Structure 1
Amino acid sequence: MEPSTNGSPSFFDRYAYAIKAIIIFVLMLILLVPAALIQNIIWERRDRQNEATQEIGSRWGGEQNITGPVLAIPYKPGTSEATYVYLLPDSLRINGELLPEKLHRGIFNVAVYNARLQLSGTFNRNELLSLNIPPSALDWEHASVLIGISDLRGIGNQVQMMWNGKSYAFNPGLVSKDLFDNGIQTPVSVTPGDALGGNFSLELGIKGSGRISFSPVGKTTTVGINSSWTDPGFDEAFPPKTRRVDEKGFAATWQVQHLNRNYPQSWEGKKFNIHSADFGIKLFMPAESYQMSMRAVKYAVMIIGLTFFVFYFIELSQRRALHPLQYALIGLALCIFYTLLISISEQINFMMAYVIASVLTIGLIIAYTAAAFKSRRIAAGIGATLTILYGFIYVIISAEDQALLMGSLGLFIILALIMYFSTTIKWDKLGQKNTNIQQ
């Protein structure tokens, strides 16, 4: 651009770097569009993974919830229709082992398991006294034991229960769906002479995928589960009382009292949500790649913006201009990093995928910078800066609990460095020097 005829710099000469900064900022905003499209790709791939999980679950068995045993006694209050009174166990003990596997559908892996559970405990029918129901209104001869199982396709054995020393075989279906929609049942013999109401024990083999949970129906519920799975999650109503998670797997125990939940030991009809206090285990797939990739994409604006800042300050300090098209190419390379990350992490673990995608992206930008500036020193500086930046982003997305704190401190330090380097530039001389160069 030519200077004005009177020898003084023109408006565009004087503010050329300011105009360039505005163009770079607009370009950065435009590059957020492909970053948003990449988020849509992640959601799409996650949906496909969920479809794979549902398809495998439909064949193997879905997420399983075990509720019970519960004693259901027919009750006819006056002249109204017959209903059921439900009695929960006085004590419930569940011990078992999860045998995990990984099933594959295309590139997607789904965690499934075989659970071997032993359930035992006692019922105390004195808990019914709080209902003020006449004993003659209860039909003990037709009492049934119900066990809620969310996906019956996963049952792997003929369930037999020892009840007061006698063996009973369960059948599919429920006498009532007041408590849960799916399950098994068996009639039991309860006589007026039974002091408690029933002692029971049974073994349950069940297949499922992703998660297994339990309802704390006992006045005291004790659950102990162990498995060779090394990445469990305990994220429902009650955390384990004790837990061990290491390279050999995990072992966890829960102890829940009836005071910890929001329903009593007995009631009539459909009055309470028996699943309100469920707890259990989720089998996480190692390195939730889509979740981690989504976190990484959220920092795209910071990576693109800081990279552009670095190139812009190099322009100011070295008097070596880049064309806006070159900024666009560098920005697109930064965006392609995320597509590389997503596609590679579907094949290997996330950390290695992040390293590979970072090396490829940084290497491409280093080579391009060396050619654009004709300087290996500047290219090496850009490479070192991007390496630190990508390493910092990985630390943030890996440390979920401290992500906000670390991100805030990192941004503060970066802003402080930018402010420091900006003081080394003689802003009032930029337009004059630029004019002299052009002359």
Structure 2
Amino acid sequence: MENTGSVFNAAQAWIRRRASAFKLFGLGVIALLMLIPIGMVNGTRDERERRFQSAVEDVTRVWGKDETLPGPVLVVPYHYQVHEEVWVESGGMRHKEAQSRTLSAEAYFLPKEMTTSGAIEMSVRKRGIYAADVFTAALTVRGRFARPDFAFTGVENAQPEWGRAWMCVSISDVRRVREASVTWATQHAAVEPWNGAQGWPAGLRSAAPIPEGSGELEFTMALEIDGSGSLMLVPLAEKTTVRLESRWPAPSFCGGYLPTRREVGAGGFSAEWLIGKFAREFPSHWTSLRSVGAPKYGQLEAAAFGVKLAPAVSAYRSIERATKYGLLFVALIFGAFYGFELVCRMRLNALNYLLIGGAICLFFLGLLATAELLPFGAAYAIAAGASTALIAGYSWALLKSGRRAVVVGTLLGAIYGYLFLVLGLEDFALLTGTGALFAIVAVLMWLSRRSVANGYTEGPAPL
């Protein structure tokens, strides 16, 4: 019996000497267990985000989606004579006879210069509790075409049909055009739908009155169009200038060319693109007789540039990032409580940490629920405040001290504030989060430097 008692006492002494290690190991296990409910919250976020995307799809399908505008292009029909010898039969004899045929085709010309200026007005359309950001763009396009020269067609005596010339512009979703007008110099021209050609999507067309012997052709086109997501333009002219402005504070410039000048602030943005002829990857002209040379629509899309008018990081993306930092949340808060144990020479059991972890998981669920109704910052403040109040109130009863509960609440508020800052730092989030882990480990190492195997008898005095 004495041997058994001595073994038992030795085991107890061995465990006491390693109490801190067992404590930390247990906290690590509980922290990892917290990833299960956090993962369930993330699954709920996926389902809610799918519902949000479905609602946005319903709104934008009716209002308008991403808009791409290649054009305008000047189209001039022409005809020409083809002389050939054909076999004919006359009086039972076959012989060759010279004949002439008249064929027709269309020649396409790109502008020499084009300047587009536009204002983009943002608005919100709702489907239930979900909101979709949409825009209405008012564009004014001014440009000029050089006098069409048909020498490139390779046919002799090409006869342009000036009275049938017309100008077209493709629009990815022409049904969303509110208003459109075209003016040649001072002469207004009617605008009508165009079914597209040579693989280009449908759009608008307008008669182009070209008097014989005239020089360059100047035009002005005004266009008002609805859309969502992005507004993209194609640099078809030898010299393309685009100026866009909006009160949208979070633009994302994209496409084949970036702005040469841009200003972005809380009050909106303005941007200007300058694209020369050496950057243009399309021929200046082509004909309907030759498929070679005519730019494919895929080439136009690849060269398009413009601006995306959607939040850089949606609320659901921010919540996803927050759940990815879930283990960091748990580690920081558990670390704060463990440090409190060391400072106050108190002990919290596994149930206490499980309940605290449950309150942390409720923070993520509350953040998801409120972010669907409020801006992300306000939703974060409400969820963090509720979680802090819940844990601080529990600490008041657990630690039997209002002053200690205030300290716990202050620590939690600081942790939630710090993690909100981490979520806002897209480029430096990993570095900042890693720094926080290093800091908390360093603090715990400092607090536990004088702990002994039989408890915290040499720790700091309790609060």
Equivalent residue, structure 2, for 1:69: 72
Structure 2 residue 325 is the aligned partner of structure 1 residue 299: yes
CA distance in 1, matches of 2:422, 2:196: 53
Name the SS for the 2:240 alignment partner: strand
Asked if residue 209 in structure 1 is aligned to residue 237 in structure 2, the reply is no
Deviations 1:350-370 (A, max 9, x none): 222212211111111111122
Q: 1:372 aligns with which of 398, 402, 406?
A: 398
- Answering whether residue 174 of structure 2 is matched by residue 172 of structure 1, we say no
Unpaired runs of at least 5, structure 2:
85-102, 287-292, 458-463
TM-score, L = length of structure 1: 0.83
Q: Separation in 1 of the partners of 2:450 and 2:279?
A: 63
C-alpha displacement of 1:21: 2.9
Instruction: Please name the residue that 2:270 is paired with.
Output: 251
Shift of residue 108, structure 1, vs aligned partner: 1.8
Give the 5 Å matches for 1:98-113. Answer: 98-113=120-135
Q: Report matched runs for 1:214-225 at 5 Å.
A: 214-225=233-244
Structure 1 position 407 matched with structure 2 position 427: no
Identity level (%): 30
More displaced stretch, 243-252 vs 338-347: 243-252
Shift of 1:257: 1.9
Aligned positions of 1:29-108 closer than 5 A: 29-72=32-75, 86-108=108-130
Residues 1:347 and 2:373 are matched in the alignment: yes
User: 3-state SS of the aligned residue for 1:8?
Assistant: helix
Deviations 1:199-239 (A, max 9, x none): 32221121222332211222111122233444433344433
**1:337 and 2:363 are equivalent in the alignment:** yes
The alpha-carbon distance between structure 1 residues 188 and 38, as it changes in their structure 2 partners (threshold 3 A), is same
8 Å contact 1:27–1:328 — kept in the other structure? yes
Aligned to 1:212, the other structure's residue is in SS state strand
What TM-score comes out, normalization by structure 2 length? 0.79
Equivalent position SS for 1:343 = helix
Stretch deviating more after TM superposition (93-102 or 353-362): 93-102
Match of 1:182 in 2: 202
What amino acid does structure 1 have at the position aligned with 2:5? T
- Does the C-alpha gap of structure 1 residues 308 and 404 become closer, same or farther in structure 2, counting only changes over 3 Å? closer
Q: Tell me which structure has the larger Cα radius of gyration.
A: 2
Q: What is the total number of aligned residue pairs between the two structures?
A: 423
- Deviation of the 1:249 alpha carbon: 3.8
Q: Secondary structure at the match of 1:243?
A: strand
SS of aligned partner of 1:284: coil
Q: Which letter does structure 1 place at the counterpart of 2:193?
A: P
Matched to 1:9, the amino acid is: A
The two structures, once aligned, show a CA RMSD in angstroms of 3.5
Matched residues in 1 for 2:266 and 2:420: separation? 23
* Residue identity matched to 1:293: I
Alpha-carbon distance change, 351 to 383 in structure 1, aligned in 2, over 3 angstroms = same
| Structure 1 gaps, min length 5 | 434-439
- Match in the other structure for 1:422: 448
Deviation of residue 378 (structure 1)? 3.7
1:274 CA displacement: 1.0
Indicate how the Cα distance of structure 1 residues 123 and 323 shifts in structure 2: closer, same or farther if over 3 A, else same.
same
Moved more, 85-94 or 409-418: 409-418
Q: C-alpha offsets along residues 165-199 of structure 1, whole Å, 9 cap, x if unaligned?
A: 65433332334143x32322345455774544x33
> 1:437 — aligned with what?
none
**Kept in 1: contact 2:107–2:285 (CA 8 A):** yes
- Among 280, 294, 318, the alignment partner of 1:269 is 294
Matched residue, 2:136: 114
